[in-house]
Structures are given as structure tokens and as C-alpha cells.
Amino acid sequence: MQLWAADGERGLMRAKGGAFSRLGPPCGALCCGWGRVFCAEQHRCVCRNREGGVLFDLPLPTGVCAMTVWDGQVCALSSDADSVTAFSALTGELLCCAPAGVYPRDLCVSRQGRFLAVAGGASGSVLLLDRNLRLLKEYRLPGTVCGVCCMRHGLLALCAVERGDIETRLLRVSLRGAAEEVFSSPLTPSCLCPLPGRGCAVGCMGRVLFLSADYKTVGALSCPCPVRMRPTRQGLLICDPCQGTAALAGGPVLYRGQSPQDAVMV
């Protein structure tokens, strides 16, 4: 397994022989699938093979903050353009584009691969889109929706709610649209990540909180600015640009740079 890091200042970095080599300019989001790595640069997405060679590139809106591979296509979410764009993972052919809230923040594919869920940011909504990015449902939630993840029974939505200060609210949303608050914290939320078979991790400014399947806090980790968390075989991978690290939760630092925004294990 190799670690790839999207560093907003140093560029695209890949582990090789125990050290990191620079493969491209600064980028803001990564995803991998079909034996390829997709890297969102300022005005384009570049598809690379495992050795770092460029297979194709295509223009994308600026401000891509999250990407995912979904059944042969890549979905890229732009917080600048308030949109999500889908293109072929094999050829780079542009497939479709759709609006995605106001300063959207996150996206994920449902467990059965039936829909794409988008955290609509300041629109205060979660959008469910089909493979052609047509709107299936829209759930209105309180506050700014910072993160979304698909669980066995519906969705989890991470919301920033202003009550004097900005606080964290974690909502469980059924596919019928019923929303129930299952967790809250006085900390400011940043990102959300499922932990397969055992709850989820909630990233807040200053801390990562680990929740059980019944949403009880079972652990916490000091972290100044978690911006992206990904589950891997080795554990939870956390990117923190304030510390300049991509590290395993409670484990070793895998990358130390200047401003890592995302990282994947390939």
C-alpha cells in the first residue's frame, strides 16, 4: 500500500522507497478506484496510474473539496461552483453536472450504490442524486451541513448550528426524511467519517470524537484541524493542515508536509 497526499502547498505527493516524491501541482482532493488515482487540481482533474503516470485529464470547476468513485464514474464536488460533476473513470468523458447546494462540503455513495448523498453546506440540506445526478430527494436540516455518511439504516448528517457559538449537531436521517439528533458537542464541526461496523468519527476543531453504533462517545483524539478522514485497513487516516500531517488515529504520522487537504491509501 502507498500513501498519496494532496498538499495544498507542496503539490501531489506519493510515497516511494520510504520518502515522498512530488508528482504534480497543489491539489485539494483525491479518490481512487479502478487501479487509478484521481487528483483535483485548480482547474482540472488528473487521472494517474499507480506509478504516477498521467492517463488523462479534464477541466473541472475550481474548489473541488471532495471526490468519490461510483460504479465506473467519478463524482467531484465543487464548493466554488456549488455543483457536482460526474465523469467516466475509464475515459474521462464528461457525463453530467448538477447543482449541489450552497458551498457544499461532502459527498458519499449509499451502501447499496443506489444514490449519491451530498452535504449541501449553507443551504442546510442533504441532497440525494441518482447516477445521472438527477435530484431524488432533498432533506432540509438545521444549520450548515458539513458532512454526510451513509449508514446501514439511513444517513448521518453533521451540522454546524449557531447558538451563540457554532456547535456540532449530528443528525440521523431516515430515507423518508425524518431527522433525529443523536449527538451534540459545543465544538465546531469539520468532517464526518463512518467506521465500518462500529459507529463513526466526528471531526471537530481541536478534536476527533469516536462514537459507538448507538452514538455514545467511546474515545477522543486531540487534533487541531481535521479536514478529511478516511477509513483504511490500517485504521482511520486523518488529514490536519494545521499540523501539516496525514496520520493514523492514535498511530504514526504517515505524511508530514505543509498543508495536506486529503490522502488515500492505494
**pLDDT grade for 151, boundaries at 50, 70 and 90:** confident
Q: Do domains 1-98+257-261 and 100-223 have the same CATH topology?
A: no
| Separation of alpha carbons 104 and 56, rounded Å | 26
User: At which residue does the C-alpha cell 460526474 appear?
Assistant: 86
Per-residue pLDDT of 123-137, as tens digits, reads: 999 999 999 999 999
Q: Give residue 198's pLDDT.
A: 80
| Separation of alpha carbons 127 and 114, rounded Å | 13
The string of DSSP letters for 141-166 reads -SSEEEEEEEETTEEEEEEEEEESEE
| Separation of alpha carbons 178 and 229, rounded Å | 26
Q: What is the mean pLDDT of the chain?
A: 94
CATH of domain 1-98+257-261: 2.40.128.630
Cβ pair 19, 260 in contact under 8 A: no
Per-residue pLDDT of 58-87, as tens digits, reads: 999 999 999 999 989 999 999 999 999 999
Q: Which fold has domain 100-223?
A: Neuraminidase (2.120.10)
Q: What pTM was computed for the model?
A: 0.94
Cell of 160: 454546524
- Domain ranges across the chain: 1-98+257-261, 100-223
Cβ pair 144, 162 in contact under 8 A: no
At 154, give phi and psi (nearest 5°). 95, -150
**Residue of 20 and 111 predicted with greater confidence:** 20
Task: For strands 179-185 and 64-70, give the pairing.
Answer: unpaired
Q: Does residue 17 surpass a pLDDT of 80?
A: no
Q: Give residue 239's pLDDT.
A: 97
Average pLDDT on 143-155 reads: 91
Q: Give residue 258's pLDDT.
A: 94
Characterise 204 by phi-psi region: left (phi > 0), alpha (psi -120 to 50), beta (else).
Answer: beta
Task: For strands 235-240 and 245-248, give the pairing.
Answer: antiparallel
Q: Give residue 18's pLDDT.
A: 76
- Output DSSP code: residue 215: S
Q: Give residue 175's pLDDT.
A: 84
